[in-house]
Amino acid sequence: MITYLYWLAIFVLVGVVVYGIGLKAQNWKVAIIVALVILLAGWATYFFRLQQVFVKRYGGVMSIRVPEGQHHLAATWKDDNLWIENYDPKSNTCIFSEYSKGNMLQGKVTITNCNPLVPQK
């Protein structure tokens, strides 16, 4: 819910800028530039700082896809970074992948000969 409120606030701010500068002051070029700067700053702030904070602390929205051929085992938080554990039955490895803010510093730990008690065929 907090994610939707954040984006609603960003779009309302853009609307106020376009209305105030563009329509009332008749300066459309400046209004569009300021609106684009607000959208870019809002996106960057969300992607690089707020997304995982919203999800962890306030019930925000985030989606992660399990890679093809792997089975999801667990997920946990370390500070504000999300760690996902998946199992690859082809190579018999457990893979811990970190999803950090902005996906800039992603860690990965691979455990070979892992047996997560997944039924073997």
What's the confidence (pLDDT) of residue 105?
61
Say yes or no: 78 and 30 in one domain.
no
CB-based burial, 12-44: b 16+ in 10 Å, e otherwise: eebeebbeebbeeeeeeeebeebbeebeeebee
Q: What is the mean pLDDT of residues 67-84?
A: 89
Residue 25 within any structural domain of the chain: yes
H/E run at residue 29 = helix 28-45
Looking at the 3D structure of the chain, how many domains does it have? 2
Residue 65 within any structural domain of the chain: no
pLDDT in tens, 27-37: 999 999 999 99
Say yes or no: 23 and 50 in one domain.
yes
pTM score, whole prediction: 0.66
Residue 78 within any structural domain of the chain: yes
What's the confidence (pLDDT) of residue 104?
63
Say yes or no: 7 and 45 in one domain.
yes
Residue 64 within any structural domain of the chain: no
Under 8 Å CB-to-CB from 102, ≥6 apart: which residues?
Answer: 47, 48, 49
Residue 119 within any structural domain of the chain: no
Say yes or no: 32 and 77 in one domain.
no
Residue 117 within any structural domain of the chain: no
> Residue 50 — pLDDT band, cuts 50, 70, 90?
confident
Domain containing 22: what range? 2-58
Say yes or no: 50 and 82 in one domain.
no
Say yes or no: 15 and 38 in one domain.
yes
